[in-house]
Structure 1
């Protein structure tokens, strides 16, 4: 069933609440204070009876200027507005203010309802009607139906009812994908036997009983115990419905007006938002960069600083790109509409549209940032998605995060990402994170520079240790998850930017090379180990014979890798030829005698006990020999 929200707007005491009662039979003044004072303080709700099979909810919003923030909470999610002007008073200050808010929030259609027709004569009514036509000229209400009604006599109430049904019947359904579920909380209360209940207008998606949702901006999971809509218990609620949700395991005090319930992961909290700001045509105030403002979105009101990107100040009818910087985290989405008000005096004077709900901090006048904002305002979804992926690449966003940033279902975001991948504009890594090809080139260029520098310094090393390479990637690209280094290494290998062998990473075309100087050192080191024979010197003693100890250490490691040296233990190497001779003699001896003592082995080798122990322990470790009592035997 199609769900429609109709809202009222207009000056205080122009008959909005009486009009709704006449249309629906329901009195929306539910608070005692409202009854006492005769004005609507908070949001009121009623259902509009009809035979068209539509769920039509009417929101009665306050008209008094002190209650504008409550009016903003209700007006943001409506499909059609009843712009109410009393014929006995005509266009008043809050009439103009509400009208400007409606335009800023991009309300698309409405009806001009001229109330209290029983209280004026025709001449006066025509004069008021002319004023109203002047006010709405050039706006979405310019060609709207104009109806004179009386809630007291019932004049044209039936016609208004039928006009509403006719206009909303042509509206398309709102998006109902579960992952788009978003409900700004405008009331929180408790009911006996049920506990905590919140209400709001379900802006997007749908929600079911028993479903776990997320409370933003605190990002707390909460379970739905029950759902009520249009006065009935329901198993599910859909976009466009006034909805009450009974919540499990959360106290009333833990919730507040302005919170948002949404599908887990569908919103991103941020203290920065990029926007296009506009000042009302009717405002005589101006906004200077750095001014602190009230910002109203959904049911929330928060304080922020407006930093204009491309101008120093804007006045009536003017617009500018801006970054809004909040004191506390907020949850907005791309294309959300909002209203701004001065801190003091509290006066509504403009609003705008969200272009990026979680940007990086910009510098004023940054031409690249301004051009990006221009593209986010006017570009296609595909163009904006590519730009956002380019900006977000250093965060390695997931498909879900991109879908949240773009305010679209994950399935649609995935399709667009596949298109960008096929056109080679983006890259999807093995962990499903998405980066722009420009950022990938930055990573690949860094890896190439890193290894080129390493190979210059270590020309005979096989390559950089894998763990060190991943650590350097993590440090350079500020990877919070160390596993991301392995993901990037795998992609670098896959794309043949680097190659790996064992525990080493090297450039794709690297091969060890000995200069004339290094060849000389190689011969010297080879001679040292050959002359030492079984009496393998400590590595540190060999290194101390050379001025460039680092090069000497690299050569020893390379000789070991190429089989010219045997590593007996962490502190010493042995010439491979000498080791082979000793091993052959030992095997012959054990084959003939079956066992050998330490002293017999020492005498056979003609060396000291120290070197004999070192050799035998190495052979034990290699499982060539093993200890049996005080002697060693050959392992078959």
Structure 2
């Protein structure tokens, strides 16, 4: 168990730790010279058979940023108040910060009782009872102590030992994250970083990443609560000996994380609770200092759903950081004003992805409220039911600090359709997805009834007639094709069993086209075809374009048409040439392999280029797309 001390400057925090552990946590020369704690100090001891660590934090208001860096939600708060001074401004601010960060258990040490009469001690004790009740530490024990006489030290030691025995087991779910508060070199070992484990477990030999910088490192050795260990878990105070990075590249405020959850962020949506004694309003774009674990960034507050916030108000706000942090869902962020004189408030992180469009749009606010559900399964279910744009699975996984395996297990519990879009995987509610697919099929079938001669609807036409989210129509059609519910021919989508019925005269002419094209290995030009079947070139060009919509011929150029199977054959030959010549194949190689003339070979390859199937590199071509990009029947 880790114990974080809190309290006003010169109330005896460091002396109390020394009395309990024998360790002077003031390690800096300036701290010893000035007699006050400036930076974090650490000490360890055994209490009632339990290994316990102490984090001594500065009490002076100028060093509150260092105090915040020493607190984590899994810790026990030891709130130190001197009997002669009583509750002071930093006492109150430290208690507020403990609650903002999520500390739920605390003890009060009433120090320096040797300096006061019994009546004064009782007055301060009564004040502490009120303070504890106001901040939900109502059951916290208050222990009177003096490091001069030794009074109460054993009682405090016993109380802390009992708290350590009763300290709740912390769930190890989530990927590993450690907030770095110190980094130093040890002769013979190399670089060591220390901090508190916020989630997950780490083992010897693990590969980790320093966030938000992005350096990859490996774990050489571990110390937990100042003792050698082969693993560390949430709540542990941990020293990690790492390799793969230089000392100059590591600093307080960074994280050690499992690489697969690495996701620096320049913004975070927070459920902000304003302290009840903050004297000003929190207005839109208020400049602030944001404290996240051991890190800090200047930034601004963007109000999302409310007018300016006043003392005791709570609302969703979006924080925009000037430098990247590495927050995850549920992490606590504390805000102080621009001058760093007052703590404004704080709250848990709800989202870290910036708004795709307007940050205050109703659909986004609805999704943010869905994210308030702490259980990932409940949150995912709520998001699936409230959006028709899909849930970005990778974004959700990174926000919730889940491994890919855990995310896959989570998605498997939901009725979803998984779709790749823009290189990312999205999930849609399965019921909605199936309803959209049914609707698309209905619109295509309805069109066939009114236009039996037409080959079907293009994607652009379906955008106009189908009442489905436009961004996912291509994926809906792809799924329908895979299920054989629709088919695509020449860029037109039609019902699976549909066959366009041409007027009799047009059907006769199309059959003439097909017969002539099938006669030889090298189809004639439209000019030659006009001589064979009659008609002028312009009328045949017009007819060819109309027949191409049926998918029964393919127009390659103004003068060349082919049967679909001929184009597929040429594409297969191109694929074989690509396999034989990975750096690309030439027009000559394509001409020789197909047995057609050079000019015709060039026309076919330019047709392939135009449809994204091949790409020209100097005098060679490479296949860059799938045959489906040719959109032939």
TM score, norm. by length of structure 1: 0.75
1:376 corresponds to: 371
- Number of the residue aligned with 2:242: 247
8-17 vs 188-197, which deviates more? Answer: 188-197
2:293 corresponds to: 298
SS at match of 2:399: helix
Cα 1:69–1:442 change in 2 (3 A) is: farther
Distance 2:232 2:515 in 1: 85
User: Is 2:135 the counterpart of 1:139?
Assistant: yes
The more displaced of 206-215 and 220-229 is 220-229
* TM-superposed deviation, 1:382: 2.9
SS in 2 for 1:180: coil
Are the equivalent residues in 1 in contact too, given 2:222–2:229 (CA < 8 A)? yes
**How far apart are the structure 1 equivalents of 2:446 and 2:59?**
70
Mapping 1:148-159, distance limit 5 Å:
148-159=144-155
Query: Is 1:427 matched with 2:417?
Result: yes
Contact 1:309–1:365 (8 Å) recurs in 2: yes
Checking the alignment, whether the CA contact within 8 Å between 1:289 and 1:306 is kept in structure 2 is yes
Map 1:290-439 onto structure 2 (within 5 A). Answer: 290-361=285-356, 363=358, 365-377=360-372, 381-388=376-383, 397-398=392-393, 402-407=396-401, 413-421=407-415, 426-428=416-418, 433=425, 435-437=427-429
Aligned equivalents of 1:493, 1:526: Cα separation in 2: 28
Q: Deviations over 1:1-23 (max 9, x none)?
A: xxx11110000110000001111
Kept in 2, the 8 Å contact 1:529–1:536? The answer is: no
Counterpart for residue 614 of structure 1: none
SS in 1 for 2:232: strand
**Correspondent of 1:493 among 481, 498, 506:** 481
1:513 aligns with 2:500: yes
Instruction: Please tell me whether the aligned partners of residues 334 and 356 of structure 1 are also in contact (alpha carbons under 8 angstroms).
Output: yes
Q: Using a 3 Å threshold, how does the CA distance of structure 1 residues 288 and 496 change in structure 2: closer, same or farther?
A: farther
Match of 2:560 in 1: 571
Q: How many Å apart are 1:34 and its aligned residue?
A: 0.9
**Deviates most, 230-239 or 120-129:** 230-239
- The 1:291–1:573 alpha-carbon spacing in structure 2 relative to 1, beyond 3 Å, is closer
Q: Deviations over 1:558-611 (max 9, x none)?
A: 69669xx9x9x983679xxxxxxxxxxxxxxxxxxxxxxxxxxxxxxxxxxxxx
Please, which moves more after superposition, 372-381 or 282-291?
372-381
Cα drift, residue 449 of structure 1 = 10
2:61–2:341 contact (8 Å) kept in structure 1:
no
Q: How does 1:622-633 map to 2 (within 5 A)?
A: none
Shift of 1:393: 8.6
Mapped to 2, the partners of 1:435 and 1:463 lie a distance apart of 27
Any idea what SS the aligned residue of 2:315 has?
strand
SS at 2:209 equivalent? strand
Q: Is the 8 A contact 1:385 1:406 kept in 2?
A: no
In the alignment, the residues of structure 2 paired with residue 478 and residue 304 of structure 1 have an alpha-carbon distance, to the nearest angstrom, of 36
- 1:132-281 equivalence runs, <5 A: 132-177=128-173, 180-281=175-276
- Post-superposition Cα deviations, 1:210-238, rounded to whole Å, max 9, x if no partner, equal 11012212333211122223333332222
In structure 2, what is the Cα distance between the partners aligned to 1:44 and 1:87? Answer: 23
The aligned residue for residue 123 of structure 1 is 119
- Inter-partner Cα distance in structure 2 for 1:358 and 1:64: 36
Residue pair 1:267, 1:333 contacting (<8 A) in 2 also: no
Equivalent residue runs for 1:422-501 within 5 Å: 426-428=416-418, 433=425, 435-437=427-429, 440=433, 444=437, 477=471, 491-499=479-487
Residue deviations 1:101-123, cap 9 Å, x none?
Answer: 11212211101111001111111
- Once residues 215 and 458 of structure 1 are traced to their aligned partners in structure 2, the CA distance between those partners, rounded to angstroms, is 63
Question: What is the alpha-carbon distance in structure 2 between the residues aligned to residue 405 and residue 187 of structure 1?
Answer: 26
Output one character per residue of 1:244-294: Cα deviation in whole Å (capped at 9) or x when no partner.
Answer: 112212011112211111112124332232211111112212210111211
**Deviation readout 1:391-442 (Å, 9 max, x if unpaired):** 89968745x7544333456665544422222xxxx22469995512277469
1:228·1:245 contact (CA, 8 Å) conserved in 2? yes
User: Does residue 538 of structure 1 match 2:525?
Assistant: yes
Question: What residue number does 1:32 align with?
Answer: 29
Displacement of 1:530 in angstroms is 8.5
Aligned to 1:591: none
3-state SS of 2:271 partner: strand
Mean CA deviation greater in 202-211 or 14-23: 202-211
User: Paired residue for 2:44, among 41, 44, 47?
Assistant: 47
Distance 1:155 1:434, change over 3 A: same
Measure, in 1, the Cα distance between the counterparts of 2:327 and 2:161.
32
2:4 pairs with 1:12: no
Contact kept, 8 Å, 2:83 with 2:112, in 1: the verdict is yes
Instruction: Report the RMSD for the aligned CA atoms in angstroms.
Output: 4.1
8 Å Cα contact 1:308/1:364 also seen in 2 = no
Answer yes or no: is 1:112 the counterpart of 2:108.
yes
Give SS of 1:48's match: strand
**Alignment check: 8 A CA contact 2:73 2:104 kept:** no
Are 1:451 and 1:464, in contact at CA under 8 Å, matched by a contact in 2?
A: no
CA distance in 2, matches of 1:572, 1:263: 57
Cα 1:51/1:136, change in 2 over 3 Å: closer
* SS of 1:382 mapped into structure 2: helix
SS at match of 2:259: coil
Structure 1 contact 269–358 (Cα < 8 Å) conserved: no
Residues 549 and 383 (structure 1 numbering): CA distance in 2 closer, same or farther, change over 3 Å? farther
Deviation at 1:77, TM superposition (A): 4.1
Task: Give the Cα–Cα distance (whole angstroms) in 2 for the partners of residues 559 and 6 of structure 1.
Answer: 75
C-alpha distance in 2, partners of 1:162/1:530? 99
The answer (yes or no) to whether the contact 1:213–1:222 under 8 Å persists in 2 is yes
Secondary structure at the residue paired with 1:512? coil
Q: Which residue number in structure 1 is paired with residue 280 of structure 2?
A: 285
Rg bigger for which structure? 1
Which moved further from structure 2: 159-168 or 553-562? 553-562
